[in-house]
Homo-oligomer: A and B are copies of this chain.
Amino acid sequence: MSHTTATAASGPNREHTLQFRVRYSETDQMGTIYNSRPLEWFEMGRSELLRSVGLPYTEIEARGVYLPLVEAHVDYDGRARYDDLLQMTSVATMVGRARLRCANRITHAATGLGVAHGYTVHAFTDTSGRAIRPPAWFLQLFR
């Protein structure tokens, strides 16, 4: 049985949805998910979104491009607990000339009740951390 995420990509709008279960390691003593987990899940969402459009992040880094965060935001909408099956939709958009913005919404898969939503904004850098312009092969994903 697979524990990988069930996914469903939808073409040109650079949107992607996946499902995953909350791990025990992701809880804290409040009995719910620790507050930094949504950022880890947003990253998983970006990762699967990029794979779904044919440009896995491993390939991006292999071409010498990093996408470090310049900004992150999370709004917590409701409780999630160990073993809950969650659904996350991620949407990627270019913002201005040199920023990628990924918005994410996490809900309970069964009920649709909100868990968290938020976004990350990414710069484009070379492997030494210097800002670069987004490569043409990246930008064409958003045309």
Contact surface of A with B, Cβ cutoff 8 Å: 1-5, 16-21, 23-25, 27-32, 34-37, 39-40, 43-44, 47-48, 52, 56-58, 66, 68-76, 79, 81-83, 85, 95, 118, 120-121, 129
Contact = CB atoms under 8 A, between A and B. Distances in A.
Majority DSSP secondary structure for residues of A touching B: mixed
A16 B3 CA distance: 11
Contact of A29 (B5, B20, B29, B48): B29
Contacts of A40: 23, 25, 36
Nearest to A46: B24
Nearest to A96: B1
Nearest to A29: B27
Nearest to A33: B29
A105 B73 CA distance: 16
Contact of A35 (B43, B56, B75): B43
Given A1-B16, A4-B20, 7 more contacts: A1-B95, A24-B29, A29-B31, A36-B36, A70-B75, A70-B76, A72-B76
A73 B69 CA distance: 12
A38 B76 CA distance: 17
Contacts of A44: 3, 23-24
